[in-house]
Amino acid sequence: MMLKGSLVALITPMREDGALDEAAYARFVEWQIEEGTEGLVPVGTTGESPTLTHEEHRRAVEIAVETAARRVPVIAGAGSNSTAEAISLAQHARRVGADAVMVVTPYYNKPSQEGLFRHFTAVAEAGGLPLIVYNIPSRSVVDVSVETMGRLARHPRIVGVKDATAILSRPLHTRRACGSAFIQLSGEDHTAVSFLAAGGDGCISVTANVAPRLCAEMHRAWREGRVEDAIAIQDRLVPLHDAMFCEPSPGPVKYAASLLGKTSAFCRLPMAPISEAAQAKVRGAMVETGLLN
């Protein structure tokens, strides 16, 4: 399985009362595919997985799989700081037809490198699907070392990494440790093109929730050798990337999606509604990028 180009870390559409909006979710997935998104990643952190019930989490994966209908791959979020819980989510993803799972580094309990190795190996063994390691030290505190990633890459089901370190030497070392077939996806929008230049295969993007066509065109330009075009799109997207992270995600991106009429801006506590200043920044960036009049 090859994952490449512009993949989206899907938001989870909710109604104003906080309930999962299944119809809006299906429409949103359909829109993403129509706009050129090349892979769907439901119920990661951007999808508010920490505050979804298990039933809602599973339903979100089902909606993504059903709506995608094999047109693009679905990489289901199956992360937890409990290995048993991660295995359960991965097994459900396999049962309903997801193509792969994304498993975040266990947060809060701070496992050692050996603990990380055993965690991902256990989920890969029991989950039965190709697994993408999600390495995001800024949120989970632990960092999968290059050496540990090299060990993990020897497992036939551990096929790649979502690298949100923003360390642009990391993909170079990861390729040396894991081989060129190991899939490397950026998890950091600002450095997506730089990550491609360092040997990456694509990006799992927050910004693609609201600018899917631009993100897809940027990756396509890069693949076709139109480097200047890719950089021009990258430059156009910078204010939008800034705005998407002006307050903790997914608050800004859900507000941006609400401006496009895709969902309400509602995020579940402890995510608070974004401030008026942040709203102005998001709206201004969307106007500047050409997404709003």
**In this predicted structure, what is the pLDDT of residue 2?**
79
Q: Which domains does the chain carry? A: 5-229 (3.20.20.70)
Residues in the chain, how many?
Answer: 293
Residue 122 pLDDT > 90: yes
Please state the rounded mean pLDDT for residues 188-214. Answer: 98
Q: What separation in angstroms does the CA of 64 have from each of 11, 235, 249, 267, 290?
A: 11, 30, 21, 20, 27
Residues 135-194: tens digit of each pLDDT: 999 999 999 999 999 999 999 999 999 999 999 999 999 999 999 999 999 999 999 999
Mean pLDDT over residues 4-10, rounded? Answer: 98
* Alpha-carbon distances of 233 from 193, 211, 216, 222, rounded to whole Å: 10, 11, 10, 10
What's the average model confidence in pLDDT over 198-206? 97
Q: Give the whole-angstrom CA distance, residue 242 versus residue 124.
A: 35
Alpha helices in 160-265 (DSSP H): 170-178, 192-197, 212-223, 227-244, 251-259
Per-residue pLDDT, 262: 98
CA distance 15 to 255: 13
**Is pLDDT above 90 for 1?**
no
104 has which bridge partners?
Answer: 134
- Distance between CA 185 and CA 5 in Å, rounded? 9
Q: Is 62 helix (H, G, I), strand (E, B) or coil?
A: helix
- Is the pLDDT score of 264 beyond 80? yes
Longest CA pairwise span in the chain (Å) = 52
Q: What is d(CA 68, CA 25) in angstroms, rounded to the nearest whole number?
A: 12
Q: Which residues are catalytic?
A: 134, 162
The alpha carbon of 23 is separated from its chain's Cα centroid by a whole number of angstroms, namely 21
User: Mean per-residue pLDDT for 74-85?
Assistant: 97
The tens digit of pLDDT for each residue in 213-246 reads: 999 999 999 999 999 999 999 999 999 999 999 9
The per-residue pLDDT for 242 is: 98
Compute the mean pLDDT over every residue in the chain, rounded to the nearest whole number.
Answer: 97
